[in-house]
Amino acid sequence: MMQQRDRYITFSNIDCYTNAIAVLDAMNELFDDIPESKNDFWQRFMSFIPDDYQTIFSKEGDKKDILYYVCANVFYISDLFDEYEFEKGIEILEQAELECC
């Protein structure tokens, strides 16, 4: 039987950190493929993200974690993926936004 996922009640069965990691992975893939996509805004954004964000969700002393940064910037990230027609990133972000933001 398929597990029911319901973000409005409990976020039960939804791993929001996995979604945030997938968004950041997609962003880094885009930055690697198209270096000019990582402008000053995105350089500053990434400065808040730990290098090992897959296992450490926030920098020491930072009360905000990767899920916060992804959700707080979802419209900017969406614009980034749209500008470079990065379909993989668009799909990953849509899932993260729907389930977690």
8 Å CB contact between 21 and 12: no
Gap between the Cα atoms of 21 and 19, Å rounded: 5
Do the beta carbons of residue 93 and residue 77 sit within 8 Å?
Answer: yes
- Please state the length of the chain: 101
Tell me the H-state helices in 1-101: 16-33, 40-47, 66-72, 74-83, 87-100
| pLDDT higher than threshold 70 for residue 58 | yes
57 pLDDT band, cuts 50/70/90, is confident
**pTM, whole model, 2 decimals?**
0.85
Q: Give the pLDDT confidence score for residue 49 in this predicted structure.
A: 94
